[in-house]
Amino acid sequence: MIASDSGTIDTLETLRRDRVAARQKWTFVKGGLPEAVNRYKSHPSPDLIIFQSDDDRENLQQHVAALAQVSDNQTRAIVIGRENDVGLFRMLQQSGVSDYLTRPLDAGLVADAIRANFSDLEHQRKARISAFIGLSGGCGSSSMAQNVAVALGEKSTKTVMLADCDLQGGTVKLNFDHQGTAGINELIRRADRADHVDATLIERLAFRRSDTLHLLTCEPHLEFDRDLPEAVVDHLLGLAMHSHYHLVLDLPRHLSPQIRNILRLADDVVLTVPPDLVGLRNFRLALEHLSDIRGKNHPPLLILNEKGMKGRAEVPVSEFVKAVGETRFFSLPFDPRGFSDAITKGSPLFETSKKAVYRRVFNGIAQQLGGGVAMPEPLGARLWRTLKKWW
Q: Is residue 391 part of a domain?
A: no
Which residues of the chain are modeled with pLDDT < 70?
1, 3-4, 15-26, 28-32, 118-126, 194, 223-226, 240-243, 371-391
Whole-angstrom distance, CA of residue 229 vs CA of residue 339: 32
If asked whether residues 89 and 100 sit together in one domain, one would say yes
Residue 236: its pLDDT value, please? 81
If asked whether residues 276 and 318 sit together in one domain, one would say yes
Q: Is residue 390 part of a domain?
A: no
Residue 22: its pLDDT value, please? 60
If asked whether residues 234 and 90 sit together in one domain, one would say no
If asked whether residues 31 and 130 sit together in one domain, one would say no
If asked whether residues 157 and 266 sit together in one domain, one would say yes
Residue 386: its pLDDT value, please? 54
Residue 146: its pLDDT value, please? 95
Per DSSP, 303 falls in state E
Whole-angstrom distance, CA of residue 243 vs CA of residue 238: 8
If asked whether residues 194 and 311 sit together in one domain, one would say yes
pLDDT tens per residue, range 59-97:
888 888 888 888 887 788 888 887 777 788 788 888 888
If asked whether residues 101 and 176 sit together in one domain, one would say no
The last residue of one of the domains, among 123, 140, 164, is 123
CB 145 within 8 A of CB 213: no
Residue 1: its pLDDT value, please? 67
Residue 241: its pLDDT value, please? 63
Q: Is residue 141 part of a domain?
A: yes
If asked whether residues 154 and 239 sit together in one domain, one would say yes
Q: How far is CA 153 from CA 233, 245, 262, in A?
A: 22, 11, 22
Q: What is the residue range of 317's domain?
A: 126-376
Cα dihedral angle (360, 364, 370, 375), rounded to 10 degrees? 70
If asked whether residues 130 and 231 sit together in one domain, one would say yes
Residue burial 238-262, b: 16+ Cβ < 10 Å; e: rest: ebbbebebbbbbbbbeeeeebbebb
If asked whether residues 34 and 177 sit together in one domain, one would say no
Whole-structure pTM value:
0.70
CB 172 within 8 A of CB 250: yes
Please state the domain count of the chain: 2
Query: Among candidates 357, 385, 281, which has minimal Cα distance to 323?
Result: 281
If asked whether residues 83 and 214 sit together in one domain, one would say no
If asked whether residues 109 and 182 sit together in one domain, one would say no
